[in-house]
Amino acid sequence: MNPDTILRLRSLPIEGVAERLGLRVARHKSLCPFHDDHHASLTFNTRRNTYRCFACDAHGGTIDLVMNRLHKSFPDACRWLADASNIIVEEYNPLSPTLKNQNSQLTTQNSFDPSRYARHFEHPWLSDEARTFLFDERRLDPRVVRWCRLTSWTDRQGTHWLQTPFFDQDGKLIGIQNRNLDYKKQTKENLVPTNTSPSNPQSHITPLPTGERLFRGGAGGRALEASAVPRFRFPYGSRCTIYNLPVIAMLRPKEPLYITEGCSDCWAMLSSGHKAVAIPSATLLSKADKDLLSNLSDRLGTTFHMYPDRDAPGERLFMQLKEVLPSLEHHQLPPDCKDYSDYYTKPM
């Protein structure tokens, strides 16, 4: 694995990583997940970016926290962190040492070069798999798909990918998200016998305890980890913090702006006729991104709205965004909908 990548994963904010793992961090402390803790013994050192438990002596950095909390190997923990934080981890079969030297600028490159990708989105093309996903499963408005310039490609292994470009306010390409369109089929098959199956109505009523979401699926979840192809992939160095920034240029004074958690909820929101952006994680928002949003309410009187996912991470994202955007309004999804795209695709 590329040392630059590992360095980047190690420097992700430790408290953000802890929150992604379902720990509730307050004043640089949380309950320790590694022993039966009732006193918030786990302390985060944000300067050294480490954690330590004063009761059981569990300690380490971001990658150790993921390895220990999720019982993952080092490479799996890196991949999980990268998937969770929009940073690419290279394929498991990295270039051989000789090739690495020859292509040194390829492996040490840490800035995203849009010119290499921009032409992909000039003439978007959708495969049958992408069409099925976007129009049959997600029921998206074709105008939204065109506006977002979604395109698709198939890699040499035959995996189908949907490619989502991230643009800045001026329409400059700043990042790309690749979504594995074959991944979902695996989840469906693997999750059928588990407690998320609709045949077990209890799973819809009982809210999952904090952190449980990551283990949802049990054996199915493990089968997924074993699969070689991740669900999302990002070109190295591409910046994917706020999605659909060009919509900001079209906002009229006092017009509502909806905030969603991921691209697919954003597409569903746009297809329902609302202007929307997506923010995958509040802890990863840069100062510039926060300023951009809070300036909107000063400049245009924009009001912010959100339908948080019906789980603990969804509510946490709402609370974190509310600190940045005090006027953010909370809308409640119906009890049988886990997120906005679920709500949008449900037959009424």
Q: Cα-flanking dihedrals φ and ψ of residue 112, to 5°? A: -80, 130
Roughly how many angstroms between the first and final C-alpha of the chain, as a whole number?
A: 48
Does the footprint of Zn ion cover residue 23 (CB under 5 A)? no
Question: Taking contact as CB under 5 A, which single stretch among the options 11-19, 32-40, 214-222, 298-306 is the one that binds Zn ion?
Answer: 32-40
CA atoms within 13 A on the CB side of 2: 24
Q: Which of 31, 56, 95, 251 binds Zn ion (CB under 5 A)?
A: 56
Does the footprint of Zn ion cover residue 117 (CB under 5 A)? no
Q: Which of 11, 45, 48, 55 binds Zn ion (CB under 5 A)?
A: 55
Question: Taking contact as CB under 5 A, which single stretch among the options 53-61, 133-141, 262-270, 339-347 is the one that binds Zn ion?
Answer: 53-61
Question: Minimum CB separation from Zn ion for residue 57, in Å?
Answer: 7
What angle separates helix 74-85 from helix 62-70, to the nearest 10 degrees? 110
Does the footprint of Zn ion cover residue 95 (CB under 5 A)? no
For residue 243, the 8-state DSSP code is B
Does the footprint of Zn ion cover residue 292 (CB under 5 A)? no
Does the footprint of Zn ion cover residue 53 (CB under 5 A)? yes
Question: Minimum CB separation from Zn ion for residue 31, in Å?
Answer: 9
Does the footprint of Zn ion cover residue 40 (CB under 5 A)? no
Cα–Cα dist 93/53, whole Å: 36
Does the footprint of Zn ion cover residue 143 (CB under 5 A)? no
Question: Taking contact as CB under 5 A, which single stretch among the options 14-22, 56-64, 284-292, 327-335 is the one that binds Zn ion?
Answer: 56-64
Q: Is 252 exposed, middle or buried (0-12, 13-18, 19+ CB in 10 A)?
A: exposed
Q: Please state whether beta strands 173-180 and 232-233 pair in parallel, antiparallel, or not at all (unpaired).
A: antiparallel
Biggest CA–CA distance in the chain, Å, is 59
3-class DSSP assignment, residue 124:
coil
Residues in contact with Zn ion by CB under 5 A are 32, 34-35, 53, 55-56, 58
